Amino acid sequence: MEHPIVRQDVMTLLVRACPSYRNRRMTYLDENYTEGDEQLLYLDLADFARHLISLFKANEIQEFPEIFSRRFAYYWR
């Protein structure tokens, strides 16, 4: 069954599609939020984009097909 993606699920889906982002994400959260803060998706996505750029520059693009697959673009699995 397909479910629409809600804001709270976006980063979880991206980490699932791009496991190399997991450690960077944890560091990013620790450095930018305190408990109870509202996470700002546009800032979180900017950090993810910086991660993708660093992967691309290092020619480490093996995760790109999963990141940009249609199933992560349209629905929650």
Count of alpha carbons within 13 angstroms of residue 1, beta-carbon side? 1
pTM equals 0.83
Q: What gap in Å lies between CA 15 and CA 59, rounded to an integer?
A: 19
Q: Is the pLDDT score of 21 beyond 50?
A: yes
Q: What gap in Å lies between CA 69 and CA 77, rounded to an integer?
A: 13
- Residue 40: pLDDT band (50, 70, 90) is very high
Q: Where are the domains of the chain?
A: 7-74
- Cβ-based burial of 18 (10 A; exposed 0-12, middle 13-18, buried ≥19): buried
Q: What is the pLDDT of residue 71?
A: 61
- Residue 74: pLDDT band (50, 70, 90) is low
For 47, residues 6+ apart whose C-beta sits below 8 A from its C-beta are 24, 25, 28
